[in-house]
Amino acid sequence: MDKRIVVTRTVPESALEVLRQVGDVHVCPQDRPLTAPELREAVRGAHAIVAMLHDRIDADLVAAAGPQLQVVANVAVGYDNIDVPAVTGRGVIVANTPGVLVDATADLAIGLLLMVTRRLGEGERLLRARQPWTFHLGFMVGTGLQGKTLGIVGLGDIGQAVARRARAFGMSVAYTGRRRAAAEVEAELDARFLPQDELLRTADVVSLHCPLTEQTRHLIDEAALAAMKPTAFLINTSRGPVVDERALAKALQEGQIGGAALDVFEREPEVEPALLDLDNVVVVPHLGSATTETRTAMAELAARNVAAVLTGAEPPTQVRP
């Protein structure tokens, strides 16, 4: 009997073709985040699950799928939606999609940086509202990047890609994280390792590229925001709960920092309402990997992970507990 592969939401056809070579593919027809009961029902009898970042995968879901479940392939590099110890403890392999979205996410982080520092979103809103305007030297003046310090929280692949782009704009690079980067990475980027509190105090831009863990949840809280320069900007393209959004809104309202640009949100897809009322905030709906090429590559990598496991091979990008 063909092995049952459940895809929780629509993916590109090229990924489905990979999956069809190794099993019977069922794509959930709703094309929206499934409720917990819907997800449990959808995965019953599955040998493989291709999951999205909004799908909560835990021991209960594995139990609902049944003992034949072999692999959960997340179409994302982050896997905070998966209880990895609980799932792998039941003999199920977990895989993700690192590497293929590095450049797209780094490009977006720089795009957000330019939008918030040069007030591009604010300027477009003015024109779309058909407000009168004339050029003068004080009109909608923003902040230049040359000579400024970019502080990166998490100098992994995406953080490094952002640093390379920032250096092309004339920025210097500092970073913090659980451990220092390799000496050759520091040398290439001319990057200084700083303790987190010093980075927050000294950076002109703080860009978040860390995974969501219990240690990084609300890493940027009221105290962290208070430590930042009043002219500093915060960029988040990692995971929403790394930032306490209510604390961020308050800090922006009170002028504790200069602005923020967010691609991800604490209670996604909900956005803290106070942020939407502020002109010094840029918000976009989780577009970090949103290029045709990248999203296709992510889905295809997830499919290759499934195909490998179901045929007894080593998956390309397995998550180890």
The residues assigned a catalytic role are: 239, 268, 286
Torsions phi, psi for 112 (to 5 deg): -65, -40
Bond from prior residue into 195 cis (ω within 30 degrees of 0): no
Residues 6+ apart with CB under 8 A from 155: 163, 175, 177, 181, 185, 191, 209
Rounded Cα distance between 242 and 156, Å, is 16
Rounded Cα distance between 284 and 261, Å, is 8
The answer to whether 78 touches 289, Cβ cutoff 8 Å, is no
The answer to whether 220 touches 234, Cβ cutoff 8 Å, is yes
- Among all chains, which residue has been given the structure tokens 């604490």? 266
Please give the structure tokens belonging to residue 82. Answer: 């998966």
SS3 of 133, please?
A: coil
The helix or strand, by DSSP H or E, that contains position 124, with its residue range, turns out to be helix 120-128
Please give the structure tokens belonging to residue 10. Answer: 């629509």
Hey, what amino acid is at 196?
Answer: Q
